[in-house]
Amino acid sequence: MQDALVIAGREFSSRLFLGTGKFPSNAALKAAIESSGTEMVTVALRRIDVTADEDILDAVDPDRVLLLTNTSGADDAEEAVRLARLARSGGYPTWIKLEITPEPRYLLPDGVETLKAAEILCAEGFTVLPYVNADPVLCKRLEEVGCATVMPLGSWIGSNQGLRTKAALEIIIEQSFVPVVVDAGIGAPSQAAEAMEMGAGAVLVNTAIGTAGDPAAMADAFRMAVVAGRQAVLAGLPGVGRAAEASSPLTGFLS
């Protein structure tokens, strides 16, 4: 596969990951999954109810996309580890999006608890993708305990504010040996393209697609933006602001 994204030995041709919250219906979610071209879809374990008449998993075809269960709702390491183990014992994939958000208003991740849980889950053989603040040191620590990616936030989840943590994201991308997935806050395709142009391995988008007037069309727009941003990196983005350098105004007298 050309320019595949590799996470824990598995190849992904799409660099757009999709969250499943806030969609108006299962049908809308299913259509968005289709048109996004995504190969990884994250679902909150707490939302799954396979005995119900209609379940969120009805929209997700596990043969086509990797089902990444997440620990949304966990407020500490102990609860996140419990949820991950429940998922494994239920036969769900052992890829876990680790979300520990003790504060329900901004859903900001708790780095201390996330590191604790990541250490336990990595040791137990889970493939762990942790959602974290854009904290370069924390990202290195998570990489060291065996996380398959790091998923720093661009801005507060659901805020559509874009890459407000850009300066920190640049450091994380520069330092990381695992793929960096920019997660949360990406509110428009241009912001997804921006993250990709910075060198992110992938982006995860939910609110901007799930709450759009036409989620499937918005998913397609994000698909194109992510492809464009990635292609720009591969093509070799010209540096910014170098046009004036050729004239050497300060050293021209030397020639």
Partner 1 sequence: MTVTPVALDSRPDGVPAHSAAADFLATDLSGPRALATTATDVDVDRALRSGRRSLADLGALLSPAAAGRLEEMAELAHAASVRRFGRVVRLFAPLYLSNQCVSTCTYCGFSAGNMIARRTLSPAEVAAEARTLTGRGFRHLLLVAGEHARIVSKDYLVDCVSALAADVPSISLETQVWDTATYTRLVDAGCEGLVVYQEVYDRDTYAAVHLKGKKRNYDWRLAAPDRAAEAGMRSLSLGALLGLDPDWRSDVIALAAHASALLRRWWRCEVAVSLPRMRPAAGDFEPVRPVTDREYVQILCALRLALPDVGITLSTRESPAFRDAAFKLGVTQMSAGSQTEPGGYAEPGAAEPQFEVSDTRSPSEVAAALRAAGYDPVWKDTIGARVTDAIPMSQRRP
What letter would DSSP give residue 42? E
CA distance 26 to 15: 23
Name 22's Cβ contacts closer than 8 Å, sequence gap at least 6.
158, 206, 207, 210, 211
How many residues in the chain? 255
User: Minimal distance in Å, beta carbon 31 to partner 1?
Assistant: 13
User: Minimal distance in Å, beta carbon 157 to partner 1?
Assistant: 10
174 contributes a contact to partner 1 by CB under 8 A: no
The question of whether 22 is a catalytic residue gets the answer: no
Of the residues 37, 130, 158, 189, which one makes contact with partner 1 according to CB under 8 A: 158
Question: Which pair of structure tokens corresponds to residue 126?
Answer: 């889970």
92 contributes a contact to partner 1 by CB under 8 A: yes
What letter would DSSP give residue 153? B
144 contributes a contact to partner 1 by CB under 8 A: no
Of the residues 1, 105, 238, 240, which one makes contact with partner 1 according to CB under 8 A: 105
What letter would DSSP give residue 1? -
User: Minimal distance in Å, beta carbon 12 to partner 1?
Assistant: 21
38 contributes a contact to partner 1 by CB under 8 A: no
CA distance 159 to 142: 25
30 contributes a contact to partner 1 by CB under 8 A: no
Catalytic residue among 97, 116, 140, 166: 97
User: Minimal distance in Å, beta carbon 207 to partner 1?
Assistant: 7
- E strand or H helix at 5: strand 5-7
Name 192's Cβ contacts closer than 8 Å, sequence gap at least 6.
16, 186, 203, 205, 222, 225, 226, 229
Which are the catalytic amino acids?
97
Q: Interface residues with partner 1 (CB under 8 A)?
A: 21-26, 44-53, 55, 57, 73, 75, 83, 86-87, 89-92, 102-105, 158, 160, 207, 210-211
